[in-house]
Structure 1
Amino acid sequence: MANIYDTANQLERELRDMNEFKALEEAYKEVQGNEEAHTLFKEFQAFQQELQDKQMRGEEFSEADAEKAQQLATEVQGTELINKMMEKEQAFSMIVNDLNRIIMTPIRDLYSN
């Protein structure tokens, strides 16, 4: 029987070889190649992380947080390179979500009895 971690590592390598990941990788390179888009994307990522950290600590989002989130979302949505990359990320994420659903089948089966 194969070691489950060997299987996971093989899956990771196969994910990197998928067309959906390669398309995401190429779209990210395009974002990186545009200083304005890359700076905006990094700011958006950092702010998302900040909000997640607040949520994990049980803190409420302030009105300023909501305003900044709206402002950043508007800027990101108005940037074609970032939109293209996010579309590619969404396509790749669908695959990862499908894999997660499959992997979690034993638990669903267990609890359904």
Structure 2
Amino acid sequence: MADKMTELGAQVTQALKDSEQYHALATAFNEMKADADTYKLFKDFQNIQLDLQQKQMAGQELTDAEMKHAREVADQVGKIDAIKNLMEAERGVNSMLNQLNKTITQPIQDIYEG
């Protein structure tokens, strides 16, 4: 059974890589990354988000200064078309993955509803 699941996983991986959404994401990422300043801002934004999430998960209070800095960077990110395009492409991939998850877990849901 494990071999069958591994094979199925490989098929799903290939289907993802072949999808329009995946190609749109890869293109948007490469276009964003081509501008060094935009890429640096994007990485800074990711690091800020990760840091804030880790603090929240650890039960630490976020300071006003941290929140203000996060909002400022988010505002900068929101003004850059390349990053906006990347985020739109991410939404497309997430939508596809959510649909896949729903399809895969439907039999389990049917058990609990039946």
TM-score (norm 1): 0.89
Is it true that 1:87 corresponds to 2:82 in the alignment? no
Structure 1 outlier segments of 4+, above 6 Å: none
- Can you give the 5+ residue segments of structure 1 that lack an aligned partner in the other structure? none
| Alignment partner, residue 51 of structure 1 | 52
- Can you give the 5+ residue segments of structure 2 that lack an aligned partner in the other structure? none
Residue 78 (structure 1) shift: 0.6
Q: Relative to structure 1, is the Cα distance of residues 65 and 108 closer, same or farther in structure 2, using a 3 angstrom cutoff?
A: farther
Superposed counterparts of 1:35-50, under 5 Å: 35-50=36-51
Residue 8 (structure 1) shift: 1.4
Superposed counterparts of 1:1-113, under 5 Å: 3-113=4-114
Residue 104 (structure 1) shift: 1.9
The number of equivalent residue pairs is: 113
Q: Relative to structure 1, is the Cα distance of residues 58 and 5 closer, same or farther in structure 2, using a 3 angstrom cutoff?
A: farther
RMSD (Å) for aligned C-alpha atoms? 1.6
Residue 84 (structure 1) shift: 0.8
Residue 14 (structure 1) shift: 1.1
Q: Deviations over 1:17-72 (max 9, x none)?
A: 11111111011111111011100000111111112212322223222221122111
Q: Deviations over 1:73-101 (max 9, x none)?
A: 10010111100111111111100111111
Separation of aligned partners in 2, 1:59 and 1:104: 35
Separation of aligned partners in 2, 1:80 and 1:67: 22
Percent identity over paired residues: 33
Separation of aligned partners in 2, 1:44 and 1:104: 33
